[in-house]
Amino acid sequence: MPDKMSDRGGLPDKAAIKKFIQDAPGTVGRREIARAFGIKGAARVELRAILKELADEGVIGRGKGKRYDKAGTLPSVTVLRISGVDDDAVLLAEPMKKVDATDHESNIPAPRIVVKADRRDGGKLGVGDRILAKMTRKGAGYEASVIRVLPKGPDRVIGVYSEVPGQGARIRPTDRRQKSEYGVAKDQNGGARKGDLVIADVLIGRRHGLPEARVVEILGDMEDRRAISLIAIHTNDIPDVFPDEVVAEAEAAQPVLMTSSGVREDLRHLPLITVDGADARDFDDAIWAAPDDDPKNKGGWQVIVAIADVAHYVTPGNALDREARKRGNSVYFPDRVVPMLPEALSNNLCSLRPDEDRPVMAVTMRLDPNGQRLEHKFHRAMIRSAARVIYEDLQAAYDGEPNDQTAGILEDVIKPLYGAWGALMRARDKRAPLDLDLPEMKISLGEDGRIADISSRQRLDAHRVIEEFMIEANVAAAETLETQKMPCVYRVHDQPSREKLVGLKDFLASMNLSFAMGDRLRPELFNRILAKAKNTEHWEAVNQSILRSQSQARYDPDNIGHFGLARSRYAHFTSPIRRYSDLLVHRALIRGGGFGTPGLGDGLTDSEAEGLAATAEHISITERRAMVAERDANDRYMAAFMAEKTGAEFPARINGVTRAGLFLTLTETGADGLLPMRYLHDDYYQLDETQKALIGERSGTRYRLGDTLTARLLEVNTLTGGLIFELPSASQETSEGARGGPRFGKPRKDWPKRGASKNSKRKGRRRS
């Protein structure tokens, strides 16, 4: 019997108990421990307290039936989650139930679990899959033999932690698609407190009738408005923390110096300027324009677009490159930016800050008076930005109201930029790209993180100047790489599918607008329809319908052209700080033009070229992921802003018509929400797909895409960002066809009841 005793009335100390449990061949209970140490009577109560302390400290593990085992010991049959793959393509797993060795207060490492190869899973197991497995000790870790693969379901949940008296703790998900709350055991809450925003693993089993979860990370207090963007970041699996090696590599980077080697052309004597929004922190493009001095091109222009030379710092295969590819792009929220590159590069060495030498990849273009590009040349160069100008100041200067900054560059810099833009616009008008009206709302936050203002983004000529310069540079990049027969990640936009065009044609016909579907589809055909609908009650509906008929742009190494821009070739070149696609185009231009820095290896590699299709697919996915995350965050910010306005009435426009009801956009703020079918209680409504409308069976009342109406805010869910509306009264209703219809209220008693007769069971009933 061990003889090392504690000062607790002759009881053994913790070290002796720990050693006894570790030396035991299996799990042991309190009775066996008491017998081994000769503990009797009331001393057994004190033994229970010692065992609890050891378990809480992670020194020993709890088994089934109040038994104890070595710390980190897993049951013989355990539910696991595939957590990763090692360098030898072996699957690694982690237990879905927390074991004591992984307690956040313990320094004991979690056991390594290797999943034994098994033909029964078909070789299709991947990260995130869950399995029921038989566990076998292998050294300090385990080998897991698959018993069965468990059904798929959410393996993680993001939500707000709360405690319900008498029912225990639970998590309310932030994702509106997850309808159920999750129960949390006391020892699985990870230290969370009421109101905390948490990430939790979904476990197998139920607690108080709810699916069970284990808190693995606390993001912060849900009352802090900054938590809104964190929800979007983690819901969409957006990497937001740079690994140490990536940060170290960025901070170790040194400024590029102008040398006499001839690798870079010196453009520091030219007054290039950057033009961005007032809140921009990284400046990756600079522009310059001047009348062409060639007498053969009278009225023509010389233009330079210079882009930060990110490829010098982010070279193929380095830590920065691996992380940039993983992220794909920067993601923008009202309160923060999740950048593609660390700040040491994005806001410093790669940012074209005024009066500082910066390396660039530049394109010099010559335009004729009508904006047609006569020639262009790419080169690596060094520039020194003459000024950082914001859009509003650029426009004000051109309109005759310069400030102290823009007055000195008005004649030699700003007016030539607008002159060259005028030429580009003449070429644009001849090309006739798709001209949709796409209003955008801007959310401004106060110091407290709450919405201070929501306004429509101004669309100035200054914005169009920069836009046309960038488009022309992007086209030049694609043409150059094609001429050089270099691999290229094109930005492609296919023409609408025939199925969507047929639906659009039918919808336009309901408004007496004809649409000729010829063999050759051009953006100009859509522009003609938009022009006919302009200044009519159908304008919004037509604009929305044409927008929704379009294909989604994407990245692809195979060029099919860009339908929306009416360009036969197009590639993103102008934003390598925030888009990985542009970095790849820079590398291809470096390789094709022989601009590589000796010994640096900054051009496109053979392995990159071979994997271009996979990379293009990946960055297309990360782009869509960013769009969803940004929209999710905006919806929640809008919901938080609207929370105190429940019961108020707002002018709104119908932006979607479905069997679930009407999707509305508020005119003043751009907030989106749903008017459920159940609140259209004056009639039974059917969905007319052709007209994109809900039509009342009895009254003929129509609610159609693009119609305006007044909506009352009925419910706000700040957690999910959902808004629910209802209609106020018929006298306030302005929807087409509603005038003269029945007043809103309860259905008349003589109307047929649901299921009352065979004839009353019509397709597309109003209630969801």
| Model pLDDT, residue 73 | 67
More confident residue, 760 or 358: 358
CATH domain 646-760 topology:
OB fold (Dihydrolipoamide Acetyltransferase, E2P) (2.40.50)
Residue 299 — pLDDT band, cuts 50, 70, 90?
very high
* Residue spans per domain, the chain: 14-70, 77-149, 156-223, 244-491+560-626, 497-545, 646-760
Q: Is pLDDT of 423 > 60?
A: yes
Q: Can you tell me the mean pLDDT for 647-672?
A: 93
Does the predicted model carry a pTM greater than 0.95?
Answer: no
Q: CA angle 252-256-259, nearest 5°?
A: 140
CATH topology of domain 14-70: Arc Repressor Mutant, subunit A (1.10.10)
DSSP β-bridge partners for residue 716: 723
Instruction: For 498, list phi and psi in degrees, rounded to 5.
Output: -65, -35
How confident is the model over 9-35, as a mean pLDDT?
77
Residues 6 or more apart in contact with residue 11 via CB below 8 angstroms: 5, 37, 39, 43, 46, 47, 50
**For the chain, first and last CA: distance in Å?**
72
| pLDDT, tens digit (0-9, with 9 covering 90-100), for 389-405 | 999 999 999 999 999 99
Domain 77-149 architecture: Beta Barrel (2.40)
- Is 646-760 the same fold as 77-149? yes
Query: Rounded to the nearest 5°, which phi and psi values hold at 317?
Result: 90, -10
Nearest by Cα to 363 from 285, 321, 305: 305
Classify 455 as helix, strand or coil: strand
Task: Say how far apart CA 461 and CA 409 lie, in whole Å.
Answer: 18
Return mean pLDDT, the chain. 86
Task: Identify the residue with better confidence: 470 or 280.
Answer: 470
* pLDDT for the residue numbered 750: 40
Please give the Cα distance from 206 to 403 (Å, whole number).
66
The residue with greater pLDDT, 137 or 648, is 648
pLDDT at 538: 87
H/E element, 359: strand 357-367
Of 533-542, 545-554, 578-587, the poorest mean pLDDT is in 533-542
- 331-332 and 337-338 as β-strands: parallel, antiparallel, unpaired? antiparallel
Which pLDDT does position 749 carry in this prediction?
39
**493 or 765: which carries more pLDDT confidence?**
493
Domain at 156-223, CATH class: mainly beta
Which residues neighbour 575 within 8 Å (Cβ) at sequence distance 6 or greater? Answer: 284, 285, 307, 582
Mean pLDDT of 160-167: 88
pLDDT digits (tens, 9 = 90+) for 553-602: 999 999 999 999 999 999 999 999 999 999 999 999 999 999 988 888 99
pLDDT of residue 401: 96
Secondary structure of residue 79 in the 3-state scheme: strand
